[in-house]
Copies of this chain bind each other. A is one copy, B any other.
Amino acid sequence: MDASIISIGNELLTGQTVNTNAAWIASRLNLAGFAVREIQVVGDEESEILRAISSAAEHASLVLITGGLGPTRDDITKHALCQYFNCSLQEDPAVLKDIRGFFRRRGLEITELNRRQALLPDKATALRNPGGTAPGLWFRQNNTTFIAMPGVPFEMKEMMDHQVIPALEKQGGKQFIIHKTILTQGIGESTLAELIAVWESSLPETIQLAYLPSPGIVRLRLTAQGDREQVLKRLIDQKVEELHLIIPEFIWGYDDDTLEGITGEILKQHGLRLGTAESCTGGYIAHRITSIPGSSEWFNGCIAAYANLAKEKLLNVSPELIRNHGAVSREVAEAMATGAQKALNCHYAIGISGIAGPGGGTKEKPVGTVYISVAGPSSVISRKYQFGDNRERNIIRAGNAALALLKEKTESDLRIAK
Contacts and interface: CB of A to CB of B under 8 A. Distances in A.
Nearest to A21: B18
A97 B161 CA distance: 52
A310 interface: yes
Contacts of A302: 282-283, 286, 302-304, 306
A211 to B, nearest CB: 5
Interface in A190-241: 190, 193-194, 197, 200, 208-213, 219, 221, 223
A54 to B, nearest CB: 12
Interface residues of A, number: 104
A334 B27 CA distance: 43
Interface of A: 9-20, 22-28, 30, 35-44, 48, 52, 55, 70-74, 111, 113-114, 133, 152, 154, 179, 181, 189-190, 193-194, 197, 200, 208-213, 219, 221, 223, 273, 278, 280-287, 289-291, 293-296, 299-307, 309-310, 313-314, 343-345, 356-359, 388, 390-393, 395
A28 B48 contact: no
B113 A193 contact: yes
3 tightest A-B CB contacts, nearest first: A282-B290, A15-B27, A283-B286
B286 A194 contact: no
Given A22-B41, A39-B39, A39-B41, 5 more contacts: A17-B212, A154-B393, A282-B291, A282-B295, A283-B287
Contacts of A314: 301, 303, 314, 343-344
A250 to B, nearest CB: 16
